[in-house]
Structure 1
Amino acid sequence: MHKFLRTFLLCQSSKAVETTVVITNVTLNDSILVILIGSRWAGKSSSGNTILRKESFECGRTRTAQSEVRHGLVDGRKLTVIDAPGWSSSLSLAEIPEGDKQRFKLNVSKCPPGPSAFLLVIPIDSAFSVEQKTSVKEHMKLLGERVWRYTMVLFTCGDYLGEKTIEQHIESEGQALKWLIEKCLNRYHVFNNKDESNLSQVTKLLQKIEEMVCYNGGSYYKVEEHIFQVIKEKQKEVAERAEERRKKNHNCAIPGNDPPHNFL
């Protein structure tokens, strides 16, 4: 374990200002737990492999259907990476099945004491639209406003930048992406998941995560207990309804269980 004195880049009044934050009583553990979140096909699984520097998550063929947890040792740190199922940017929160909402919220309880950081994965090779902004906003709302303090944007497809800097890309994308960066207190990082030899991109990401942990006083993100109980109850209700449907379908499939017919 070790203590930190870092210079943070914070966002105040929509302007990035450099602020020196002195933390003398924050002790960081050598272990880091991150959750990869974002829309489908954003590159979450590939990013998980890049972070762990090994092929831990299956990529490309199928989308992640349920949360997957992998562990590794990188730069002397014990890492736990959770690859959460991606959401559909075309669906509003009201259109998302209740079970999917509860599973998304329960991701934070996969590995106690809780995540050090949420990495919100955004691909550079496609525009970040107003619709995507709305989708991100609604999904993050499920975890509470406090989650933004623990969230960093992780841009993928860094090779698409070419000669542009990530700051130039953010500026050219418009207000939707600028809003997201501001919500994350100007915390972002860029990955080129095709460049496996670039080990420094992971080292720099871990440094940024540690700075964020320091900013949060060394605390982990936790769902409040009463909210957690509501989630568990709703998940139980969803499971019970699914079981009722299964039994009903099973009974209908048994010969002789057909409803009586009226013959005239």
Structure 2
Amino acid sequence: MSALGGVEMEQEPSNPEGTPEVDVSRVLVVGGIGHGKSSFINTVLGEDKCAFGDTWAVDKTITKDIEEVDFQRKNDIITFIDTPSLKTLKSNSKFLDLYKTGFHAIVIVYSIKSYIHPSSSVLKEVRKLFGDEVFRHVLIILTCEDYLGDSTVDEFLNANTELKHFVDRTRDKPVAICNTVEKNSTEANEQRARCLVYLESVLRKNEEPLKEIEKCSCCRKCFSWFTDIVNINR
């Protein structure tokens, strides 16, 4: 209660519903078509909430637009943001709005199977879209772990120079998962726990989300003034 002109006014509660505010971490999930972005989200959720399928061979996307899925934990929420083709994000109004708010982590899903059938560079597209700041926020998930056969993740990275260089700059070890494990099996639960441990590590080191840098509306004028000053001082 507060007094205003001798009249007591009742203040509005900060949270009218009376429920405690919960921290929300926004995790953007990107990758090539058919690399397993939706399957990764389903793996972490422990249930199939995102549509998925095997389309890598025909370059056809199942996820048509941005889709947000909340993962409720004991003390916070992780909002996973499933995405269509990387090339479409620059013109996607929903993505651009989310980018202004920022992403606390960016999961790049890279299919081990796709290395046999290489497509355009997902890693170059990611770096082009977000710049070098992306390395601090990235977790790389390697899907189709069963395609490694008798090889190890390190051997796969050594054979894939571009991916290895990218991983080295993130300073975080990639996580390999198998898309075909049976839901709620021991192996599936272990995969889920492993993904969450590594994702939590990325979230903890990034208090501030990766946001789109606001561009000065008068950049051309500023550049013109700078040019004039340089010419005068010559």
TM tier, smaller = 0.5 to 0.7
Moved more, 121-130 or 180-189: 121-130
Offset at residue 223 of structure 1 (A): 1.5
State the partner residue of 2:42. Answer: 49
Inter-partner Cα distance in structure 2 for 1:185 and 1:75 = 28
Structure 2 counterpart SS, 1:65 = coil
Offset at residue 210 of structure 1 (A): 2.1
Structure 2 counterpart SS, 1:226 = coil
Structure 1 counterpart SS, 2:38 = helix
Residues 130, 176 of structure 1: 8 Å contact kept:
no
Alignment of 1:216-255 (within 5 A): 216=206, 218-226=207-215
Residues 135, 170 of structure 2: 8 Å contact kept:
yes
Inter-partner Cα distance in structure 2 for 1:155 and 1:125 = 9
Moved more, 147-156 or 193-202: 193-202
Q: Which runs of 5+ in 2 are unaligned?
A: 1-21, 55-60, 218-234
Structure 2 counterpart SS, 1:51 = helix
Inter-partner Cα distance in structure 1 for 2:99 and 2:129 = 19
TM-score between both structures, scaled by the size of structure 2 = 0.67
Structure 1 counterpart SS, 2:80 = strand
Inter-partner Cα distance in structure 1 for 2:117 and 2:131 = 23
1:102 aligns with 2:70: no
State the partner residue of 2:171. Answer: 185
State the partner residue of 2:204. Answer: 214
Inter-partner Cα distance in structure 2 for 1:128 and 1:112 = 36
State the partner residue of 1:152. Answer: 139
TM-score between both structures, scaled by the size of structure 1 = 0.61
1:140 aligns with 2:96: no
**Residue 113 of structure 2 is aligned with which of 102, 125, 140?**
125
Cα distance per residue 1:112-151 (max 9 Å; x no partner):
8532211111001131788644x52134222222122101
Residues 108, 114 of structure 1: 8 Å contact kept:
no
User: One-letter code of the match for 2:161?
Assistant: Q
Cα distance per residue 1:71-126 (max 9 Å; x no partner):
12257652211111124xxxxxxxx6xx752328x626438853221111100113
State the partner residue of 1:205. Answer: 195
Structure 1 counterpart SS, 2:193 = helix
User: One-letter code of the match for 1:222?
Assistant: K
User: One-letter code of the match for 2:49?
Assistant: S
Offset at residue 54 of structure 1 (A): 1.3
Offset at residue 69 of structure 1 (A): 0.8
Structure 1 counterpart SS, 2:113 = coil
Residues 89, 95 of structure 2: 8 Å contact kept:
no
Structure 2 counterpart SS, 1:225 = coil
Identity %: 26
1:115 aligns with 2:103: yes
